[in-house]
Amino acid sequence: MQIFFSENTMSLKSKCETSVLLPKANFDSYVVLAMAVLKERTIQVLEYDENVMHEVLAHYNKIPDEPSIVDNESAICGGIPAIQLYLDKRYPVPALLPGDYKSIGRRFSLCQILLRSYSKVFQSYFVTGDKKRLLKENLKLAKNLNEVCSIESMQFKDESPTIIEAVFMSVFIHLEESGINLSKFKAYSGFSLYMNKVMKSQYYDKCKIQLDRYREEPPFYKKEGFCLNDFLDAA
């Protein structure tokens, strides 16, 4: 596991905000956003198309090609586990991996299984655009998880959501944005109940509000007064 810290980051940095850098068509992006939201941080979102951004900035190696955050004047990337570790150390309450060492181990293992399973399904969809296959694969995962929803690691509590909820927030936001009919999941009562609890939570709404707010504005690099040289000098 590698955590990258840089004391000289982009001009996005603020001691009062956590900036969340989200490459589009990347399942992990919304997981990172959800983790920051669960920490009750003031968030600045930067969602970008890697192909477009690479034309402008990639050769300067300033914009990462994976979801990351800029927090307290440091850039943190290296994948979901690295960002989770940083956030739990920097902002311990509420914990993304709460409980004793056994609970932490079980939740971490479940998180890794979920990330591998859902990332594979969604990354395939981002390439092919096949909605029928996306629904089929998600229904298959819902069926497998239907009984798992009763275990402690997936007992969603609105006052203390965990990294598991962050993963599923990403799942449900992506499904909604893909136009998938979520009523199809009612056949799996345990999973459907869990899905409804997560989607009705304040944190899920906050994730969507952050994305909508960012998307209503032009990208930062298209705003009036943006100067690439000044941006790179400040980075």
> pLDDT for 10-60, tens place per residue?
344 445 678 888 888 999 999 999 999 999 888 888 887 776 655 455 444
Average pLDDT (96-120) is: 93
Tokens of 17: 């905000």
- What is the extent of the structural domain holding 125? 101-201
User: Is there a single domain that holds both residue 82 and residue 163?
Assistant: no
Q: How many domains does the chain have?
A: 2
Reported confidence tier of residue 6, pLDDT bands at 50, 70, 90: very low
List Cβ neighbours of 208 (8 Å cut-off, separation of 6 or more).
Answer: 173
User: For position 228, what pLDDT does the model report?
Assistant: 58
Find out whether 25 and 193 touch, Cβ atoms under 8 Å: no
User: Is there a single domain that holds both residue 89 and residue 106?
Assistant: no
User: For position 227, what pLDDT does the model report?
Assistant: 63
User: For position 60, what pLDDT does the model report?
Assistant: 46
CA dihedral defined by 85, 88, 94, 95, rounded to 10 degrees?
40
Taken in order 211, 216, 221, 224, is the CA torsion positive or negative? negative
In a domain, 1, yes or no: no
pTM comes to: 0.84
How far apart are the C-alpha atoms of 163 and 103, rounded to whole Å?
12
CATH number at residue 50: 3.40.30.10
User: For position 45, what pLDDT does the model report?
Assistant: 86
Find out whether 3 and 27 touch, Cβ atoms under 8 Å: no
List Cβ neighbours of 89 (8 Å cut-off, separation of 6 or more).
Answer: none
User: Is there a single domain that holds both residue 128 and residue 189?
Assistant: yes
In a domain, 9, yes or no: no
In a domain, 5, yes or no: no
Average pLDDT taken over every residue of the chain: 82
CB atoms within 10 A of CB 10: 19
Express each pLDDT in 74-104 by its tens digit: 778 889 999 999 999 999 998 999 989 998 9
In a domain, 12, yes or no: no
pLDDT at 177 over 50: yes
Better pLDDT: 157 or 36: 36
